[in-house]
Amino acid sequence: MRVAVTGTPGTGKTTATETLDYAVVHLNDVIREEGLHDGEDPDRASLYADFEALEEWLAANASADDETVVVESHLAHHFDADRVVVLRCHPESLESRLRERGETEEKARENDASTKSPQALTRYARENAEAEALDVILGEAVQRHGLESVYEIDTTDRTPEAVAEELRAVLADEREPSAGDVDFTGYL
């Protein structure tokens, strides 16, 4: 079984999947390490993913006929999956998480070309908060996979361990699909 864990950047996908006892593919690392992209967006310090190459890579490395494999990325819902988990976070909290993460990365890397400038970080955090308020990824996930395959988890006031527990419940088939329970439109 292949389980996609998706959600707007900052919703906590990487953090929550790190503690799972399943094979986890961090797709954004694969894109960078395997060079499965068509270059960089210079304004955003992010890569243009090559979807066809990723599809092939996943077929070869995450086919999951017998075992369960988790594919984690804000792009994970664009590929085949048996279940799709969409992590959510209130846009205001999301904006703070992304700013803090960006500032920590900046301190760690100093002048690395892949670090966002303060202006780019502000814009990145705001754009993602707006996308989260508009349910962009949830909408894409439901459109591609159908309501019966989508599981929404609100991470806003949950610890990473509590989010991982919810993920385990989905993986163990102990949760019903759910979509549209959270409503962040008040942010807009």
Ligand X SMILES: Nc1ncnc2c1ncn2[C@@H]1O[C@H](COP(=O)(O)OP(=O)(O)O)[C@@H](O)[C@H]1O
The token pair that represents 55 in the structure block: 């599809």
What are the beta bridge partners of residue 41? 46
C-alpha dihedral, 175 to 179 to 184 to 185, nearest 10°: -170
Answer yes or no: is 14 a known binding residue. Answer: yes
Residues in the chain: 188
Query: Which tokens belong to 168?
Result: 């385990």
Q: Judge whether 15 is annotated as a binding position.
A: yes
Closest residue to ligand X in the complex (CB): 12
Shortest approach of ligand X to residue 144 CB, angstroms?
A: 19
Q: Which is nearer to ligand X, 64 or 137 (CB)?
A: 137
Of 63 and 104, the one with the shorter C-beta distance to ligand X is 104
Q: Using only C-alpha atoms, what is the Rg of the chain?
A: 16
Break the chain down into helix, strand, coil percent, rounded to 5: 45, 20, 35
Which CB atom, from 139 or from 146, has the smaller least distance to ligand X? 139
Residues at the contact surface with ligand X, assessed by CB under 6 A: 7, 9-15, 97, 100-101, 155, 158-160, 163
Distance of CA 89 to the CA centre of its chain: 11
Residue 46 or 68: which CB sits closer to ligand X? 46
Q: Which is nearer to ligand X, 14 or 149 (CB)?
A: 14
Vertex 107 angle, CA 105 and 113, to 5° = 65
Taking the complex as a whole, the smallest distance from the CB of residue 124 to ligand X amounts, in Å, to 11
Is 13 annotated for ligand binding? Answer: yes
Residue 17 in marked binding region: no
Q: How far is the CB of 15 from ligand X (least distance, A)?
A: 3
Report whether 8 belongs to an annotated binding site. Answer: no
- Rounded to 5 degrees, φ, ψ at 74 are -70, -5
Shortest distance, CB of residue 149 to ligand X, whole angstroms? 20
In the complex, least distance from residue 102 CB atom to ligand X, rounded to whole angstroms: 9
| 143 φ/ψ angles, rounded to the nearest 5 degrees | -60, -45
Annotated binding site for ATP: 10, 12-15, 101
Binding-site members are: 10, 12-15, 101
